[in-house]
Homo-oligomer: A and B are copies of this chain.
Amino acid sequence: MTELVSIRQRLIPPQGKGHTSSARVPNAWYVACLSTDLGQAPKAVTVLGIPLVLFRGADGSPSAVLDRCPHRNVPLSIGRVVDGELECAYHGWRFSSAGRCTRVPGLCDQEERKGRSVSAWPCREQQGLVWVYGEPGETPECAPYEFPNVDDSRYHTVYDVVEGQGSVHAVAENALDVPHTAFLHGGLFRKDGERRPIEVVVRRWHDRVEAQYIGEERPKGLVGAILAPGGGTVEHYDRFILPCVVEVEYRLSEKSHIIVSTALTPIDDFRTLLFAVVCFRLPLPGWLVTPFIRPIARRIFAQDAKILTAQSQAIERFGGEQFVSTELDALGPHIRKLLRDAERGIITPGDKPLERRFQMLV
């Protein structure tokens, strides 16, 4: 474990000059890849700056070990899987799911030596996603996040994965931000024209924060037409759940309900993987809607990705963030506080959420 502390220290440079919203919360589960993206071959992933390799054991269950052969430090991810064990491409050393070295080809004395093993990270497959824990060692008691409604047969689910430049905070704030939609996604969601006030209620618990939008009209444009062909007001919640889940929920009736959840995985301080889980129940048949989900989501995200990249480059160029917020930044500052507290290990559960109300022109 001492070795791993030092790996982390060497791999993750001290947080950059200036002030940034990057937070490092290792004692938590993160999505490593879609289940469908882990097949026969080993797969390299980087979580919180640590290079890992995923592979499936003989029983098909996934494992994650440090992506470095202890012998000559070649990445194990360029090797292959043989009989459920990971084989290094250089000298053929083999490793079990637990990271134990099971074979050194050519060696007469195959007695096990501790230094030949490789550290393993807790790994679990759930709801179509492969999760890894942020710290190596024993599997922790807590379980990965469960996405609501995914297991409900009345709902359809579409998965996707994209990469965004920016910290988990920047990506989460962007995903849950209402005011930018009229500009960045003008036409797809809202438009910058005549506006009327709606009420926003923000509630923060010890491990999550949500914004409820009261009195909001049906979203305009293409997305709105699919979500609620009949118009009307919507029930709309945006949520962030520590340390890595963002959730946008729209409900128009019992039969028209969509939850876009996204698990954010920090590759490093300034790059984030987004695993989107779009779960919906609509008046339209699922087979009709499903083909449109991914193209629409990708089109929206392409616009966000462009802004996130520009933002991230400017922050890097200026040597840190200098944000000025207004009350319209309903969740960003709360997400930041939650991540900062989690990073420092300060999580104080309480019964009642902190609540704040304000008006927004939409």
Residues of A within 8 A of B (CB): 7, 10-11, 17-18, 51, 67-68, 70-75, 78, 88-92, 104-108, 113, 115-116, 177-180, 182-184, 192, 195, 197, 307, 310-311, 313-315, 317-328, 358-362
A232 to B92, CA, bound (A): 27
Are the C-beta atoms of A362 and B106 separated by less than 8 Å?
Answer: yes
A317 to B51, CA, bound (A): 9
- Across the A-B interface, the 9 shortest Cβ-Cβ residue pairs: A10-B319, A92-B183, A106-B179, A70-B324, A115-B324, A74-B311, A106-B361, A91-B180, A73-B314
Q: How far is the CB of A331 from chain B (nearest CB, A)?
A: 13
The contact sample of 27 A-B pairs, CB cut-off 8 A, is: A10-B318, A10-B320, A11-B318, A51-B317, A70-B322, A71-B323, A72-B311, A73-B311, A73-B322, A74-B314, A75-B310, A88-B183, A89-B307, A90-B184, A90-B307, A90-B311, A91-B177, A91-B179, A92-B182, A92-B192, A106-B360, A107-B326, A108-B197, A108-B358, A108-B359, A108-B360, A116-B326
User: Within 8 Å CB of A115, what residues of B?
Assistant: 324
Are the C-beta atoms of A183 and B318 separated by less than 8 Å?
Answer: no
User: Within 8 Å CB of A182, what residues of B?
Assistant: 92, 105-106
Q: How far is the CB of A113 from chain B (nearest CB, A)?
A: 8
User: Within 8 Å CB of A362, what residues of B?
Assistant: 106
Are the C-beta atoms of B179 and A105 separated by less than 8 Å?
Answer: yes
User: Within 8 Å CB of A361, what residues of B?
Assistant: 105-108
Copies of this polypeptide in the complex = 3
Q: How far is the CB of A200 from chain B (nearest CB, A)?
A: 10
One of B11, B107, B359 near A319 (C-beta < 8 A): B11
A310 to B53, CA, bound (A): 14
Which residue of chain B has the shortest Cβ distance to A87 in the bound complex? B183
Q: How far is the CB of A74 from chain B (nearest CB, A)?
A: 5
Q: How far is the CB of A192 from chain B (nearest CB, A)?
A: 6
Are the C-beta atoms of B71 and A324 separated by less than 8 Å?
Answer: yes
Q: How far is the CB of A97 from chain B (nearest CB, A)?
A: 20
Are the C-beta atoms of B323 and A72 separated by less than 8 Å?
Answer: yes
Q: How far is the CB of A55 from chain B (nearest CB, A)?
A: 17
Extra 5 A-B pairs, beta carbons < 8 Å, given A51-B314, A116-B324: A51-B317, A75-B313, A89-B310, A104-B328, A115-B324
Q: How far is the CB of A237 from chain B (nearest CB, A)?
A: 18
A11 to B11, CA, bound (A): 26
